[in-house]
Amino acid sequence: MRYKFIILPVVLILLACNAEKGNKQSSGQTTAEVASTKPVHTEGYELMRQKCLICHMEKPDPAKRENMLAPPMVKVQEHYKPSFPDKQAFVDVITKWVLNPAEENTRMPGAVRRFKLMPKLPYEESEIRQIAAVLYDYDFGRMPDMHGAMKMELSLNKGQKWQLNPQTLWVIEEIKRELAAAPPAEDIASWNQLGRDVFSRAKTILMDKSYSGDLYQQLHNFFGGIEGHMHLLIAARDIKNARKQRDALIKKFESLGNYFE
Ligand code: HEC
């Protein structure tokens, strides 16, 4: 809560400065940048630059890892687009988020843990919609090589399994049970719902404040390994693919027992 009170005045000042020097900066872009990112000249992009890129960077920058205030925009796009492949639905969900960021709606629990919840900002809905449409279309280009910066492999705790609390163990059992009880074969909507259910349960583990340090990092790594499958299950259009994602999730949750108890 305190975070919001500090950050909001800072942001408002930044916003005011940004609005003034707006055009000057965008004309300073290199030709390479312009060539690789189509919607850069649009009003929507300009709005995103002024209202979102003050906290969010476009893409991860290994040199600025320690100074980040929010997840890079490309990561936001990666987390939302697979679950909302339809542009209108994507714009709706992003707009809803910006108008009212709430922990129970996060799709990036790791980011909430790391950066604290995004503050509610006094933006016009029509502007947010324009920004969200750009975020959907925007091609962030090639990712910088972050090798070493983000190791996602699981490892033991000095040869021992990591100790989880009873609440987490219960959530894991519930997820396994849900995954094992397959929804009716022909009903894709209930497979998508299964993906959403698993996601919201798995999220509570990552949001558990009793985990920190190396143990939290290991949980984060595990989450990183299942995230893609959950997104694809939520967005699956055919049963075959849904089944594939569910099977992958079952395997991952089985292997969890090798590292955690
Ligand atoms: C004051 C800094 C700040 C500004 C300005 C800001 N954000 Fe954020 N945003 C954050 C932080 C911190 C997070 C990570 C924590 C979280 O997800 O709540 C975040 C996360 C997000 C997420 C992921 C939500 C989730 O958790 O699933 C979306 C989507 C997002 N921002 C969109 C935007 C858009 C669009 C704008 C511009 C209209 C914007 N943000 C402006 C700080 C900011």
Q: How much is the pLDDT for 152?
A: 75
Task: Indicate the pLDDT class of residue 29, thresholds 50, 70 and 90.
Answer: very low
Task: Indicate the pLDDT class of residue 253, thresholds 50, 70 and 90.
Answer: very high
Task: Indicate the pLDDT class of residue 24, thresholds 50, 70 and 90.
Answer: very low
As a whole number of Å, the end-to-end CA separation of the chain is: 33
> Which tokens go with 15?
């916003």
Mean pLDDT for the chain overall: 85
Mutate which of 6, 74, 118 for ligand 1 pocket (most atoms within 8 A of beta carbon) = 118
Q: Which of 123, 120, 97 is nearest to 3 (CA)?
A: 120
The beta-carbon contacts of 185-193 under 8 Å, at least 24 apart in sequence, are: 185/239, 186/239, 188/236, 188/237, 188/238, 188/239, 188/242, 191/233, 191/236, 191/239, 191/242, 191/243, 191/246, 192/233, 192/234, 192/235, 192/236, 192/242
Task: Indicate the pLDDT class of residue 148, thresholds 50, 70 and 90.
Answer: very low
Give the C-alpha separation, 124 to 50, whole Å.
Answer: 13
Would you say 220 and 206 are in contact if contact means Cβ atoms under 8 Å apart? Answer: yes
Q: Any idea what the Cα angle at residue 25 is, between residues 21 and 30, rounded to 5°?
A: 175
In the reported structure, the alpha carbon of residue 70 is separated from the centroid of ligand 1 by a whole-number distance in angstroms of: 6
Cβ-Cβ contacts under 8 Å for 109 (sequence gap 6 or more): 203, 206, 207, 223
In the reported structure, the alpha carbon of residue 119 is separated from the centroid of ligand 1 by a whole-number distance in angstroms of: 8
| 74 has a pLDDT exceeding 70 | yes
| 146 has a pLDDT exceeding 80 | no
Question: Is the CB of 127 inside a 6 Å radius of any atom of ligand 1?
Answer: no
Chain centre to alpha carbon of residue 241 = 22
Question: Is the CB of 119 inside a 6 Å radius of any atom of ligand 1?
Answer: yes
Q: What is the pLDDT of residues 172-193, one digit of tens each?
A: 999 999 999 967 778 999 999 9
Question: In this predicted model, which residue has the larger pLDDT, 139 or 7?
Answer: 139
> Which tokens go with 71?
């997840």
Would you say 224 and 78 are in contact if contact means Cβ atoms under 8 Å apart? Answer: no
Would you say 130 and 44 are in contact if contact means Cβ atoms under 8 Å apart? Answer: yes
What number is the average pLDDT over the span 201-221?
93
> Which tokens go with 238?
């055919």
Question: Is the CB of 52 inside a 6 Å radius of any atom of ligand 1?
Answer: yes
Give the C-alpha separation, 118 to 135, whole Å.
Answer: 17
Q: How much is the pLDDT for 100?
A: 97
> Which tokens go with 77?
């796009």
Question: Is the CB of 164 inside a 6 Å radius of any atom of ligand 1?
Answer: no
Would you say 118 and 70 are in contact if contact means Cβ atoms under 8 Å apart? Answer: yes
What number is the average pLDDT over the span 12-38?
44
